[in-house]
């Protein structure tokens, strides 16, 4: 057990009101564009987009239930047989047929979670009506024993829980729980929450350590995080126990996934993909499918906090370090290879074949916030900031209706079309995907961004992100109101207005961003000050005060560790928390011929991209002249360069001006 005095706790979204210029725009986009658009997409009403079938599947399962109403419910028995392929039964009427991926239900769950965050911050009767109706549709699909996964309901219930490795039942359960918890918090309506609890109870009846149950666990993690949330909301120990069991059982010998699929053990090689190659506390390296990995680590961090389990925390720290010191792109993207959407080996970070799924960057934000709850260390806050302003936000365009699944750091549109090794990379964002995990995931992250800004203790508030907002917190003898005005990510000026009528001392802890060499904090001169792990702690009996924070944002050149072969001889440009890139729209084609001039410096200027103002950077550089004679090979001569003016735009803003080349890393 560890000393839990260092922990801080999540701040409820209700306690925070976002007033930030930058994020208010993003939230408004989610409210006005993304969420309504996604509702249409889930209902297959977006012309020319790949159909989702998500709501269709719930309706179809509800229809089957309706038909079975007058018959006695027969509890299905497990079958040893699994589905080897998606069953296609031509006899089956279309209206009760399952379509899409096995995890299609989860798209709805993430959508309702995003809706809940919006409702929690601003009432919207029409949206709530649509949400309530959708919940009726979903709950009508639930089986009498609580089971709720449309793939098996529509195909063959007797085969449920027979392929935990690949068929995502527990993943869908996890997302359903997260959506249900959020919707209950926002509206106090219990219907979806009750359904989620019943599904979790149904799972616990069949899966667990007790005699006669399947000793399985999720093939795609997320249920661990979800059960932690469900436990924290309901206080019901049984949900904590189920999540704890999933973590404890994972990776034990003999591996459940091998047994389930009657496969010979291969020393854990195959199961690295699922992070089931070793017990979680013994895992040394971040491996396998990147989204699964960071969802697992996030769940481990939750349980470390909830149970005080030091060994889980130690494992989380080790896995964190492996990612951020060896396997993370500058943008915060993770998952360097599209094969298995997975981590590659250390320092293998190719720019033009990167996978860097939007969901994986979002998952890193989940992981970072949970590590911050375990200990305030600016290393976690810095990565959280990197994710939300770069690798996650790049997943959506400025209209809120186009999305990236893959977030490369270098793009040549022709290569995306002609080179099958890069066919996962899209040069422009897409309307929707058959596998649409990313868009609703981004909607729920942006919708809940207020819950990432602060964490709290009984007598302390931690400011992790500089996002304009108001926070109200109860202390023992009064309340503390904090009003943050921020010009992030464009300017490093922050103004914190504090009003407090409590008579006891309270600590305000401020993250000193790692990218800033000269952090200045003016005000509260009489406070007791100390600095620890990148946080400045100010402790005093607060009255009415103003803190002026100044984190000068200078454009800077960044290099990668020399072990990153792809980035050798190259540099990238950052300013404050933003990663910048060059686009063809500003710099012409053949970006690979450009060289930047390290001594030249940068000037910042306003640029309009698709109706939005961003801060662009201009600097001097060079363009290599085409080789003489234009022959494929010729005798070496020193290349000739012409001076050019170069323009960089924030990475998250790229591909909002049609198709073109892009690169983050440039020759130097």
- Contact residues toward Zn ion (CB under 5 A) are 357, 359, 437-438
- Measure CA of the first residue to CA of the last residue in the chain; give whole Å: 50
Active site residue 437: yes
Residues 6+ apart with CB under 8 A from 629: none
Please identify, using beta-carbon distances, which residue of 220 and 305 lies nearer to Zn ion.
220
Q: How buried is 666 (Cβ within 10 angstroms: 0-12 exposed, 13-18 middle, 19+ buried)? A: buried
CB of 361 to Zn ion, least distance (A): 9
For residue 489, is the peptide bond before it cis, meaning its omega torsion is within 30 degrees of 0?
yes
Q: Do residues 18 and 121 make contact, with C-beta atoms less than 8 angstroms apart?
A: yes
Active site residue 605: no
DSSP per-residue codes, 151-171: HHHHH-GGGTTS-TTTS-HHH
Unique residue bearing structure tokens 């969802």: 295
Of 197, 202, 359, 437, catalytic: 437
SS3 367: helix
Distance CA 433, CA 30 (A): 18
Please identify, using beta-carbon distances, which residue of 177 and 359 lies nearer to Zn ion.
359
CB of 439 to Zn ion, least distance (A): 8
Torsion over CA: 334, 336, 341, 342 (sign): negative
| Bridge-based pairing state of the strands 528-532 and 535-540 | antiparallel
Tokens, residue 278: 């070793």
CB of 364 to Zn ion, least distance (A): 13
CB of 595 to Zn ion, least distance (A): 35
Residue nearest to Zn ion (CB): 359
CB of 291 to Zn ion, least distance (A): 6
- Residue whose C-alpha is closest to residue 447's, from 75, 18, 152: 18
Please identify, using beta-carbon distances, which residue of 322 and 357 lies nearer to Zn ion.
357
Torsion over CA: 287, 290, 296, 300 (sign): positive
Residues 6+ apart with CB under 8 A from 596: 557, 571, 573, 619, 621, 622, 646, 666, 667, 668
| Bridge-based pairing state of the strands 641-650 and 578-583 | antiparallel
SS3 453: helix
Unique residue bearing structure tokens 């007598």: 459
CB of 443 to Zn ion, least distance (A): 12
Of 26, 221, 260, 341, catalytic: 341
Please identify, using beta-carbon distances, which residue of 107 and 357 lies nearer to Zn ion.
357
CB of 436 to Zn ion, least distance (A): 8
CA distances to 142, 155, 382, 554 from 139, in Å = 5, 18, 40, 53
Tokens, residue 479: 């309340």
Please identify, using beta-carbon distances, which residue of 61 and 437 lies nearer to Zn ion.
437
CB of 314 to Zn ion, least distance (A): 29
Distance CA 101, CA 253 (A): 30
Distance CA 443, CA 14 (A): 18
Q: How many CB atoms lie within 10 A of CB 318?
A: 16
Q: Do residues 13 and 454 make contact, with C-beta atoms less than 8 angstroms apart?
A: no
SS3 318: helix
Please identify, using beta-carbon distances, which residue of 222 and 228 lies nearer to Zn ion.
222
Active-site positions?
341, 437
């Amino acid at each position: 057990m560890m000393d839990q005095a260092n922990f801080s706790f999540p701040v409820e979204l209700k306690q925070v009101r976002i007033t930030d210029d930058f994020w208010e725009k993003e939230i408004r986009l989610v409210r006005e564009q993304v969420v309504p658009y996604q509702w249409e997409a889930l209902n297959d009403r977006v012309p020319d987009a790949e159909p989702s079938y998500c709501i269709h599947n719930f309706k179809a399962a509800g229809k089957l239930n309706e038909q079975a109403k007058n018959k006695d419910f027969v509890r299905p028995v497990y079958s040893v047989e699994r589905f080897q392929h998606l069953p296609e039964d031509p006899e089956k009427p279309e209206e009760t047929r399952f379509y899409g991926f096995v995890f299609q239900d989860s798209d709805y769950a993430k959508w309702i979670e995003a809706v809940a965050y919006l409702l929690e911050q601003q009432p919207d009767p029409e949206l709530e009506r649509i949400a309530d109706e959708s919940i009726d549709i979903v709950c009508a699909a639930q089986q009498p024993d609580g089971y709720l996964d449309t793939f098996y309901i529509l195909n063959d219930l007797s085969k449920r829980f027979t392929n935990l490795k690949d068929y995502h039942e527990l993943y869908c359960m996890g997302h359903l729980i997260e959506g249900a918890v959020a919707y209950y918090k926002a509206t106090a309506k219990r219907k979806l929450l009750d359904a989620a609890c019943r599904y979790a109870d149904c799972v616990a009846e069949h899966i667990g350590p007790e005699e006669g149950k399947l000793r399985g666990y999720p093939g795609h993690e997320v249920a661990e995080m979800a059960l932690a949330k469900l436990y924290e909301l309901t206080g019901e120990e049984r949900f904590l126990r189920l999540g704890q069991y999933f973590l404890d059982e994972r990776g034990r010998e003999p591996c459940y996934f091998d047994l389930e699929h009657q496969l010979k053990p291969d020393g854990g090689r195959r199961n690295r993909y699922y992070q089931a190659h070793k017990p979680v506390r013994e895992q040394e390296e971040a491996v396998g499918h990147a989204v699964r990995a960071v969802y697992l680590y996030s769940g481990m961090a939750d349980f470390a906090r909830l149970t005080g389990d030091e060994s889980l925390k130690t494992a989380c720290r080790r896995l964190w370090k492996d990612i951020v010191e060896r396997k993370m792109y500058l943008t915060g993207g993770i998952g360097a290879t599209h094969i298995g959407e997975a981590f590659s080996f250390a320092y293998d970070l190719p720019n033009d074949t990167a996978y860097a799924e939007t969901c994986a960057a979002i998952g890193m934000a989940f992981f970072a916030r949970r590590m911050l709850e375990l200990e305030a260390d600016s290393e976690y806050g810095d990565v959280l900031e990197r994710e939300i302003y770069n690798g996650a936000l790049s997943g959506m365009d400025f209209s809120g209706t186009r999305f990236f699944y893959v977030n490369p750091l270098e793009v040549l549109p022709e290569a995306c079309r002609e080179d099958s090794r890069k066919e996962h990379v899209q040069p422009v964002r897409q309307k929707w995907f058959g596998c649409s995990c990313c868009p609703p995931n981004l909607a729920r992250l942006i919708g809940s961004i207020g819950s990432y800004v602060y964490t709290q203790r009984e007598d302390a508030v931690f400011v992790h992100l500089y996002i304009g907002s108001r926070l109200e917190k109860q202390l023992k003898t009064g309340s503390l109101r904090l009003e943050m005005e921020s010009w992030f990510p464009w300017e490093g000026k922050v103004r914190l207005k504090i009003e407090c009528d409590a008579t006891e001392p309270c600590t305000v802890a401020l993250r000193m961003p790692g990218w800033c060499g000269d952090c200045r904090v003016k005000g509260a001169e009489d406070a007791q000050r100390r600095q620890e792990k990148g946080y400045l702690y100010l402790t005093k009996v607060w009255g009415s005060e103003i803190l002026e924070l100044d984190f000068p944002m200078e454009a800077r050149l960044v290099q990668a560790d020399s072990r990153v072969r792809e980035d050798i001889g190259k540099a990238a440009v950052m300013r404050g928390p933003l990663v910048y890139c060059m686009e063809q729209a500003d710099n012409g084609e053949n970006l690979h011929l450009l060289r930047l001039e390290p001594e030249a410096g940068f000037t910042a200027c306003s640029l309009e991209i698709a109706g939005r103002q961003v801060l662009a950077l201009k600097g001097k550089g060079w363009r290599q002249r085409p080789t003489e004679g234009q022959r494929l090979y010729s005798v070496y001569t020193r290349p000739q360069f012409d001076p050019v003016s170069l323009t960089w735009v924030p990475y998250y803003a790229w591909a909002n001006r049609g198709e073109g080349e892009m690169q983050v890393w440039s020759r130097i």
